[in-house]
Amino acid sequence: MAQPIRIVIGGILHETNSFTPLPTRYADFELSRDLGRYADEAGSMAPLNTLDLVATLVASAGPGGIVQRSAYEQLKAEILSGIAQALPADGVLLDLHGAMEVEEIGDGETDLMRAVRALVGENILIAVSLDLHGNISPELVDSANILTAYRTAPHRDAPATRRRALLLLADAIAQGQRPCAAMVKLPLVLPGEAAVTDVEPSRSLYAQLPAIAQVSGLLDASIMIGCAWTDSPYATVSTIVVARSDAKLAQRHAHELAASIWTRRAEFGYSVEALGIDAAIAAAQHSLARPVYISDSGDNVTAGAPGDSPLAAARLLATNTTNALVAGLVDAQAVHDCATAGVGATIALQLGAGIDPRSGPRLNCQALIKQLRDVSDSGQIDTAVVQIHGVEIILTAERRAFTERKDMRACEVDPDAYAIIVVKLGYLFPDLVAHAKHAIMALTPGATTLQLNTLPYQQLPRPAYPLDGEISWPNP
């Protein structure tokens, strides 16, 4: 009886924002040492349960600042130790994001891949599962056999992508193939908010991928939008095509896919109207549709921003806006002060700009404390809901993304009760899209500003469209 195919799994997932002061520490990572991430929605591993899968460590942290070297080295060491103990193996799956920057090292994914390849040798196949917002280096592509990325943003296919990577790897091993990948990088830099896959041109561009993967001799195709807030030499849009064995075939199709993106470069834009903060508030006030969602895009916690900018709240108050909610604002001291005073008290608060001084000035106010909650079940109050005139604010002790209505309800806040809701996001996630009758992107300053020309890039390749205006590609 043939031995089952043995595949070792490990990885580190982090989307690094180079422009936020928050370091990412070891404690920020959620650690998984089992195969739970690879079960389907029904909880079954089939047909993966016919494989001999060995879990090492998959570490995942929310978007944030540069990963501390000591944290990365500790995670890397455990992954390498686990792979070494699992050898001999037929293949390795690296579960990565693709936009991790490490203190003093730089591109973390390439460093990890280099170490894994050195450990297992050239004969073992390596597959990589990626976020489409990854910034991928040529060395990473050359070292891997199979790379495949998400095809949805907002992301809905992370489990499907991991599963696809595993099945492609297992099939190649079973058939004795040695796949190879090719990548083409475009001089095009896009924030994720300009490339939502449910709208054009991303919708039709991503719709090409399954057909490309079915071309004779090919296995898979991906479009990497990249992470524009990672100051990296690789933070531009790229295409990756995987061939069964023909590198030239992969390269030709990767270039054709890249060319199809380039011809539509001027079409990339936001899926909703984009305005300055005051114009966004004015538009929301005059809108007949309710509720209106305003994305505070410059302080987008899902892209690594601190979440502590009081600008939106301050402008709502300055314009005498009523029936409005800000979900949420990070201020641990304010939450502590509210917990000390208790529900029903009115206290003086200085809100925001405690993590990133660039988020200032702080908002000085008298606030009525309406709710106190321990949302994280930590045993202490971590959330306070306060009212300042016609505006309510969900204050959080730690960064938290309000991507669904249930996140607000966990704070005893009913999202149906407000005319205007401000969230510290870029694009809205599906549940909020379903709730919003009108959505506006506020072009606010901050670590995740959509005004990319204001960011102090040092590593991003230039010239790049649209930062440097119209440029030619391929270069003559």
d(CA 280, CA 348): 28
**Which pLDDT score, from 0 to 100, does residue 3 have?**
85
Helix 108-120 and helix 69-86: axis angle, to 10°?
A: 20
d(CA 461, CA 447): 20
DSSP conformational letter for 152:
-
**Which pLDDT score, from 0 to 100, does residue 41 have?**
59
pLDDT bucket at 33, cuts 50 / 70 / 90: very high
| Residues near 256 by beta carbon (within 8 Å), at least 6 away in sequence | none
pLDDT bucket at 234, cuts 50 / 70 / 90: very high
225 pLDDT above the threshold of 90? yes
Q: Is 264 helix (H, G, I), strand (E, B) or coil?
A: coil
Residue-wise pLDDT tens digits, 76-98:
999 999 999 999 999 999 999 99
SS (H, E, C) 13-80: ECEECCCCCCCECHHHCEEECCCHHHCCCCCCCCCHHHCEEEEEEEEECCCECCECHHHHHHHHHHHH
Residue-wise pLDDT tens digits, 433-452:
999 999 999 999 999 999 99
**Which pLDDT score, from 0 to 100, does residue 475 have?**
64
Give mean pLDDT, residues 220-242. 98
Maximum distance among all Cα pairs of the chain, rounded to whole angstroms? 76
pLDDT bucket at 42, cuts 50 / 70 / 90: low
45 pLDDT above the threshold of 80? no
Q: Which helix (H) or strand (E) holds 318?
A: helix 311-318
476 pLDDT above the threshold of 50? no
Work out whether strand 101-102 and strand 91-95 pair parallel, antiparallel, or are unpaired.
unpaired
Helices (H), ranges, 365-429: 405-409
CB atoms within 10 A of CB 256: 14
28 pLDDT above the threshold of 90? yes
- CB distance 237 to 226 below 8 Å: yes
User: Poorest-confidence range of 40-44, 107-111, 120-124, 147-151?
Assistant: 40-44
| Residues near 407 by beta carbon (within 8 Å), at least 6 away in sequence | 327, 400, 401
d(CA 14, CA 27): 13
d(CA 226, CA 212): 21
**Which pLDDT score, from 0 to 100, does residue 357 have?**
82
The per-residue DSSP string of 90-140 comes to SEEEEE--SB-EETTTEEHHHHHHHHHHHHH-SSSEEEEEE-TT----HHH
Work out whether strand 292-296 and strand 125-130 pair parallel, antiparallel, or are unpaired.
unpaired
What's the chain's average pLDDT? 96
Residue-wise pLDDT tens digits, 285-310:
999 999 999 999 999 999 999 999 99
Pick from 7, 108, 127, 3: nearest CA to 55: 7
Per cent of the chain over pLDDT 90 is 94
Pick from 253, 222, 257, 252: nearest CA to 240: 222
d(CA 299, CA 450): 10
Residue-wise pLDDT tens digits, 323-350:
999 999 999 999 999 999 999 999 999 9
The model scores a pTM over 0.85: yes
